[in-house]
Structure 1
Amino acid sequence: MNPFRSTPNLLTFLRLCLVPFLVLLILNDHYELAFGVFIVAGITDALDGLLARMLNQATMLGHYLDPVADKLLLSTLFLALHHQELISRLVTVLVFGRDFGILLVSAILYATIGMRSFPPSIFGKTNTLMQIVAVTSVLLGEFYDPLWVKFTRHWSLDATVVFTVLSGFHYAWTVARRVGQMSPSAPSEG
């Protein structure tokens, strides 16, 4: 099977294609439509994993592309929402810096020592959930603003800061430990 034509990977590509449209909607103050498109992106994220398992269409491409698409979507939205002064600089820099750092370290470790497996931790999963709740509540709050949305927005942005820092340190500690446990290759004779 061609990995570029598998249904789960096509959904991931669709999510990637939605990113520039989401940014344009946010920059043009179309928050209600941006909220809807963000929900569609979330549905594609849920469906791609489910379909990969149900249809037995899990691919190596999807294994790497799905988390990259998620990070690109969320990091870009944090930047766009910061540009609109809806999310603070602190939250945006932490989210973007952590995700950029993880992608950079992953690429370096893969290129230099072939380390490929970076399973997400409970801190990383919780961080992603908090980021999703934060973006959702910020977008929702621009056109629907009851007290519970304001509370969720404030709480989720604070939680995003905490879990971004925790998951970043946990990731660095885990990678350092794994690299330290790798046995050095024997010197070649000759």
Structure 2
Amino acid sequence: MTSASDSRSAWRHLPNAITLARIALVAPLVWLIAHRRFEAALVVVAVAGASDALDGLLAKRFGWRSWLGGVLDPLADKLLLVASFVSLYLAGAIPGWLVWLVVGRDLVIAIGATAYHFLVGRVVPQPSLLSKVTTFLQIVCALALLLKLSGVLPLPDAVDATLVWLVALATVASGVHYIVVWSFKAANARRRNNA
């Protein structure tokens, strides 16, 4: 017979399970956008957004936070955003250079985090305010374009162009910020280790 504490312990993994389910939505999202089924893609995005809110709420409300959850949650967001931007590019909705910026920034961060982990120590994800603003702008841009492509919200072309440039500027700024901040952290950690 399982005790009440064992039962509560099993529930601790629910936020991570929800995050993994969100990662599983990447493939259907790409397929739907590639096949120009934008209304259905919007539903998938809405489900992903709701699951993101739910796993965060559960983790905070019940103290079900973990290092794995701290890694999986931003990873799920990044995979969905990158998949959205690549798919929207293939659908002709955004320029290729913006996709390269978005994907390139995330690759630089991933490579930097991996290098830090193996050369310096464990990486504790700490998204900066600039990073959060960048993610927010990327989400707004992807959603606005999906809403426009689906015919739900016909936006003027000037809005598209403004969102594209805002995302580009924020993406570059946050990428440079990550490189500078984590380079200083690595240098300080190595200095402490050698002292």
TM-score scaled by length of structure 1: 0.90
Q: Equivalents in 2 of 1:149, 1:138: separation in Å?
A: 11
Counterpart among 51, 73, 78 of residue 71 in structure 1 = 78
Q: Equivalents in 2 of 1:185, 1:162: separation in Å?
A: 36
Instruction: State the Cα distance separating 1:115 from its structure 2 match.
Output: 3.9
Q: Equivalents in 2 of 1:133, 1:48: separation in Å?
A: 21
Contiguous gaps of at least 5 residues in structure 2 = 1-8
Give the aligned partner of residue 94 of structure 2. 87
Give the aligned partner of residue 12 of structure 1. 19
Instruction: State the Cα distance separating 1:31 from its structure 2 match.
Output: 0.2
Give the aligned partner of residue 155 of structure 1. 162
- Relative to structure 2, which stretch is displaced further, 77-86 or 139-148? 139-148
Number of matched pairs: 186
Q: Deviations over 1:17-43 (max 9, x none)?
A: 100000000011100110111111011
How many percent of aligned residue pairs carry the same amino acid? 33
Give the aligned CA root-mean-square deviation in angstroms: 1.9
Q: Does 2:172 match 1:165?
A: yes
Counterpart among 39, 45, 51 of residue 46 in structure 2 = 39
Give the aligned partner of residue 5 of structure 2. none
Give the aligned partner of residue 144 of structure 1. 151
Decide whether aligned partners of structure 1 residues 60 and 151 sit closer, same or farther in structure 2, where only a CA change above 3 A counts: same
Instruction: State the Cα distance separating 1:143 from its structure 2 match.
Output: 2.0
Decide whether aligned partners of structure 1 residues 146 and 139 sit closer, same or farther in structure 2, where only a CA change above 3 A counts: closer
TM-score scaled by length of structure 2: 0.88
